[in-house]
Amino acid sequence: MIGFLIATLIPIPLLILASAMGGAVAWAVLAYLTVFTALLDHVLPQNWRNHDATEEFRAGHGLSIALGVMHLFLMVIAVRYLGGPGGAEGWGVLPAVLAFGVYFGQVSHPNAHELIHRSGKEAVQLGKIVYTSLLFGHHASSHPKVHHVYVATPYDPNTALLGESFYRFFVRAWIGSFREGMRIETHDLRRAGRPL
């Protein structure tokens, strides 16, 4: 649990610092997000025992909501200071952009997945907003309505085929998820009598 908190919360102020300063500071933040966080997996004790689902990490829901809100804040910081005047400039932007990308991929994306599986409407909506900000909004529909229903069958675009290369799978999954998500959402809207 402590490793998870270190890997998810400490990078937030570091990313803000990287966006403001760029250069060597941003490279250090990127190293923290990649090398140090990976080392945590090897340093911290491993617990392979499956816990009872009713004994879920109690603060997990609040942490997930906080990470979703912080993602939106970080997205604004990234766009403002890495895409506009006043922040990191020139090549100093590169490590900061990479650091934000690593954090959004390692923390925000999996957290959005957790949020869309929560029972509360607000958490699900926050997960959809996070996915949309990552230009992956269709996943909020296609994941539960297509992947969960058809997992490990030819009907699931997110199940890799035997012998399929990563690159072929990536393109097929991205396009297929969007298409299938659109299809199922259109079907659901028509069935509910709501306009597209």
**Residues in CB range of 137: below 8 A, 6 or more apart:** 128, 131
Per-residue pLDDT, 124: 95
Torsion over CA: 20, 96, 38, 7 (sign): positive
Q: What is the pLDDT of residue 56?
A: 61
155 phi and psi angles, rounded to 5 deg: -80, -10
Give the burial string for 182-194 (b: 16+ CB within 10 Å, else e). Answer: eebbeeeeeeeee
Rounded CA-CA distance 96/28 in Å is 10
Q: Where are the domains positioned within the chain?
A: 2-137, 138-196
Q: How far is CA 194 from the centre of its chain?
A: 30
Residue 51, pLDDT score: 65
Kindly report the pTM of this predicted structure. Answer: 0.85
Predicted local confidence at residue 52, as pLDDT: 64
Task: Give the C-alpha distances (Å, rounded to integers) separating 144 from 69, 121, 135, 180.
Answer: 22, 15, 18, 11
pLDDT in single tens digits along all 196 residues of the chain: 676 777 889 999 999 998 888 889 999 999 999 998 888 778 877 766 666 655 666 667 889 999 999 999 999 999 888 877 777 777 878 898 999 999 999 999 999 999 999 888 999 999 999 999 999 988 998 999 999 999 999 889 999 999 999 999 999 999 999 999 899 889 999 999 998 7
pLDDT in the model for residue 37: 81
Q: What is the pLDDT of residue 3?
A: 67
> What is residue 48's predicted lDDT score, i.e. its pLDDT?
65
